[in-house]
Amino acid sequence: MAMNLPSTHPLLHAGTASAPLIQAYRGKRPTRQPVWFMRQAGRSLPEYRSLRATSTMLDACLTPNLAAEITMQPVRRHKVDAAIFFSDIVLPLKVAGIDVDIQPGVGPVMGRAIRTADDVAALPELEPEALAPIAEAIGICVAELGATPLIGFAGAPFTVASYLVEGRPSRDHLVTRALMHGDPQTFAKLLAWVARTTTTFLNVQIEAGASAVQLFDSWAGMLNPDDYRRHVMEHSASVFAAVAHYGVPRVHFGTKTSEILVDLLACGADVIGVDDRISLATAIERLGADVVVQGNLDPARLFTDWETLASHIDEVRDAGKRAKAHVMNLGHGVPPDTDPEVLTRVVAHIHGESV
Amino acid sequence: MAMNLPSTHPLLHAGTASAPLIQAYRGKRPTRQPVWFMRQAGRSLPEYRSLRATSTMLDACLTPNLAAEITMQPVRRHKVDAAIFFSDIVLPLKVAGIDVDIQPGVGPVMGRAIRTADDVAALPELEPEALAPIAEAIGICVAELGATPLIGFAGAPFTVASYLVEGRPSRDHLVTRALMHGDPQTFAKLLAWVARTTTTFLNVQIEAGASAVQLFDSWAGMLNPDDYRRHVMEHSASVFAAVAHYGVPRVHFGTKTSEILVDLLACGADVIGVDDRISLATAIERLGADVVVQGNLDPARLFTDWETLASHIDEVRDAGKRAKAHVMNLGHGVPPDTDPEVLTRVVAHIHGESV
């Protein structure tokens, strides 16, 4: 398959510059509060479930028309202010040649766990050309999206490394943390490798037209903050630094990160995603009022009556006014059982439309 | 089976009053730092695995000789400063007549989830007499333990309620949290029921000879602190208040509770268990130097070389000196894969014996 990456050009993301999402990410207060949902593309949508019936998760991510269609579904349905590219944080590992599969109901499972200095030394470098299907899918999305921005994303070094080390999803990440303490040199080399791979994944998405990027550190909140600062932070910071020259807004997010919000920001992020395990008011207090925040809606409220949900949205919106700007989002991914009509109503409510 | 609960008597727990654990729990500095491990009785011990081969978890808990033997195994092997009674936080539900089973590799699974006002109204009251096998098992332990204290325990109202509502282990507790927000009256009645059941479970353990009790709120750390304070705290506080008259030290613990340590203390606890996701120094800063703390060893360090582990133990011990007293423990339960010889060596190291 021929590879034809769009060149970096100052006008590449100009078409979305006045979109409410990009305005808010840049610290301005757009007339309409922007909203999108983590995992908006995926399991909560019947149109997604019928599309995905015949392909594995990673095959779907690598089929440009399919990945693009899945990315677009929630934008068409919910009228959210951004598309988030449909992919997976382990996709770059797969493309780099690592034996990884996403098992339904389990998560990412490695053919072989990466635990020694030799394992790390043997990891293949990810070539941007191998991500051609990703660039192609994003090109399709961007053409359809017009002035609506597409958000690219990647997994942060610690989170991706923990899948490599554990070999499968883990609740306690004991093997990863034992490697971190018992062999910090190998651990650092592994995170540096993931940081390079993640950077390549983000580069390709930005050059293909992503107007913003989000780094997901799903498991950073499992760490003692001292360990995060000592062993992890520099690697996430290197990813943010490596994509800084594109000038696209960079979001940093992880769940259960209330203790390290300031550190997530210090990695070089422009926007901090706040989960629902802390109040947005407290998060802004810790981060400072000069910061742009995203998120904080409680996914559990999606399963209550509308009045309970609407008053929660209003509370979060009011709290967000203390920040420089606030992009509405959930504090976690859309739960698979969510009624999509509720999400559509949430978007309309945030956009101030009668519902 | 005839029930013969020991009566409450001022001398009931006198035999353990000078034990290092009880001294430390009471804010004194014993000559030897006490240590025990959450989940010390159980899967990490080969002698446990061979005993349990032929019985289900809850049957084992309800067979006095078996529960007592399992409780004693780690005391004999590791020379820890306390036995923790071998049981399960859903045991009182089972004894009350609720259809619950602990499925290996899964956890507690309910025959039917409890989600409505009618479900809650129909919950059976737990009669202390039904806990006779528990009292008998504790009696056997206490007789063998002599001056070494036995710690009783129970699940806190929120954690036990979340199992009842979800019907099975859950990562996000979305149904529980939706009930909390969408129908706070029913949620409060459910937690009040669990608080009564938990109190009965603790009463029986104390009257049978437990010299201290620990309330486990495994899932409290999943909650936004505001929600914890508004919907949960009073029910845990009612349990602490209900057992206060026994005068035995009361420990309060949950993982990922760094944001609510002060609230856990304010529930009426005498000792706060600190997990490993926060440094002990920070925990003591938040709690105040007048508090007794327990725990904080990182279970992941059990899988590193001895020098890495020993220096971690020494660091935690040094940090603990800033508190009124510090009982050494892990910040989480013993991982099933732990080499028991490592635990024995940890105890000897803490006790200052050459190893």
State chain B's mean pLDDT as an integer: 95
Q: How far is B300 from chain A (nearest CA, A)?
A: 5
> Is A103 contained in some domain?
yes
Work out the burial of residue A50: count CB atoms within 10 Å of its CB; fewer than 13 is exposed, 13-18 middle, 19 or more buried. exposed
Q: Nearest-CA residue of chain B relative to A279?
A: B224
Work out the burial of residue B87: count CB atoms within 10 Å of its CB; fewer than 13 is exposed, 13-18 middle, 19 or more buried. buried
pLDDT value for A9: 52
Instruction: Please tell me the pTM assigned to this model.
Output: 0.95
Q: Nearest-CA residue of chain B relative to A305?
A: B182
Task: Give the residue from B179, B218, B224, B316 with the most A CB atoms within 10 Å of its CB, the best one to mutate.
Answer: B224
- Spatial strand order of the sheet with A83-84 comes to A83-84, A150-155, A212-216, A250-253, A271-274, A292-295, A325-327
In degrees rounded to 5, what are phi and psi of residue A110? -90, 145
In degrees rounded to 5, what are phi and psi of residue A272? -110, 125
Q: Do B335 and A226 touch (CB under 8 A)?
A: no
Q: Can you point out the beta strands (E) in A191-267? A: 212-216, 250-253
For residue B3, is pLDDT > 60? no
* Residue-wise DSSP of B69-126: HHHHHHHHHH--S-EE----TTHHHHHHT--EEEETTTEEEESS---SHHHHHTPPPP
pLDDT value for B14: 82
3-class SS shares of chain B: helix, strand, coil, % to 5 = 50, 10, 40
Q: How far is A232 from chain B (nearest CA, A)?
A: 15
pLDDT value for A184: 98
SS3 B63: coil
Task: Give the residue from A115, A166, A174, A306 with the most B CB atoms within 10 Å of its CB, the best one to mutate.
Answer: A174
Angle at B331 between CA B329 and CA B332, to 5 degrees: 105
Give the count of beta carbons closer than 10 Å to the beta carbon of residue A248.
23
- Chain A CB contacts of B277 under 8 Å are 222-224, 259
Of B16, B29, B79, whose CA–CA distance to B353 is shortest? B79
Percent of chain B with pLDDT over 70: 96
How many residues does this entry show for chain A? 355
Of B74, B93, B95, B92, whose CA–CA distance to B83 is shortest? B74
Location of structure tokens 């808990």: B61
Of B173, B175, B256, the CB nearest to A256: B256
pLDDT value for A11: 59
CATH of the domain at B246: 3.20.20.210
> Is B217 contained in some domain?
yes
Q: Do A305 and B174 touch (CB under 8 A)?
A: no
Cβ contacts from A onto B, under 8 A = 91
Q: Do B172 and A332 touch (CB under 8 A)?
A: yes
Q: Digits of tens for pLDDT over chain A (355 positions)?
A: 344 444 455 457 889 999 999 999 999 999 999 999 999 999 999 999 988 888 889 999 999 999 999 999 999 999 999 999 999 999 999 999 999 999 988 999 999 999 999 999 999 999 999 999 999 999 999 999 999 999 999 999 999 999 999 999 998 999 999 999 999 999 999 999 999 999 999 999 999 999 999 999 999 999 999 999 999 999 999 999 999 999 999 999 999 999 999 999 999 999 999 999 999 999 999 999 999 999 999 999 999 999 999 999 999 999 999 999 999 999 999 999 999 999 999 999 999 986 5
What is the end-to-end Cα distance of chain A in Å, rounded? 47
Q: How does pLDDT run across B126-182, given as a tens digit for each residue? A: 999 999 999 999 999 999 999 999 999 999 999 999 999 999 999 899 999 999 999
pLDDT band at B7 (very low <50, low <70, confident <90, very high): very low
- Chain B CB contacts of A222 under 8 Å are 277
> Is B9 contained in some domain?
no
Numbered residues of chain A with Cβ closer than 8 Å to any chain B Cβ: 172-178, 180-182, 222-226, 256, 258-259, 276-279, 282, 298-305, 308, 312, 332, 335, 337
Of B174, B222, B277, the CB nearest to A303: B174
Of B222, B225, B300, the CB nearest to A174: B300
What is the H or E stretch that residue A101 is in? strand A100-103
- DSSP state letter for A217: -
> Is B38 contained in some domain?
yes
Residue B224 CB contacts under 8 Å (≥ 6 apart), including other chains: A276, A277, A278, A279, A298
For residue B350, is pLDDT > 90? yes
pLDDT value for A105: 86
> Is A179 contained in some domain?
yes
Residue-number span of the structural domain to which A239 is assigned: 16-350
- Alpha-carbon distances of A352 from A31, A157, A310, A346, B182, rounded to whole Å: 11, 38, 12, 10, 23
Measured in whole angstroms, how far is the alpha carbon of residue A262 from the centre of its chain? 18
d(CA A351, CA B320): 51
pLDDT value for A353: 81
- DSSP state letter for A330: B
d(CA A267, CA A235): 9
Q: Do A182 and B222 touch (CB under 8 A)?
A: no
Residue B293 · residue B272 · CB < 8 Å = yes
pLDDT value for B1: 38
Residue B315 · residue B308 · CB < 8 Å = no
pLDDT value for B9: 53
pLDDT value for A3: 43
pLDDT value for B11: 59
pLDDT value for A35: 98
For helices A306-320 and A340-350, the axis angle rounded to 10 degrees is 40
For residue B5, is pLDDT > 50? no
pLDDT value for A91: 97
Of A119, A108, A152, A139, whose CA–CA distance to A208 is shortest? A139
> Is B355 contained in some domain?
no
Which is it for strands B107-110 and B100-103: parallel, antiparallel or unpaired? antiparallel
pLDDT value for A4: 44
- Chain A CB contacts of B256 under 8 Å are 256
Which neighbouring-strand residues pair with B273?
B294
Residue A215 · residue A250 · CB < 8 Å = yes
Q: Do B259 and A256 touch (CB under 8 A)?
A: no
Task: Give the residue from A39, A180, A181 with the most B CB atoms within 10 Å of its CB, the best one to mutate.
Answer: A181
pLDDT value for A1: 37
- If one counts the domains in chain B, the total is 1
> Is B345 contained in some domain?
yes
> Is B5 contained in some domain?
no
Residue type, B32: R
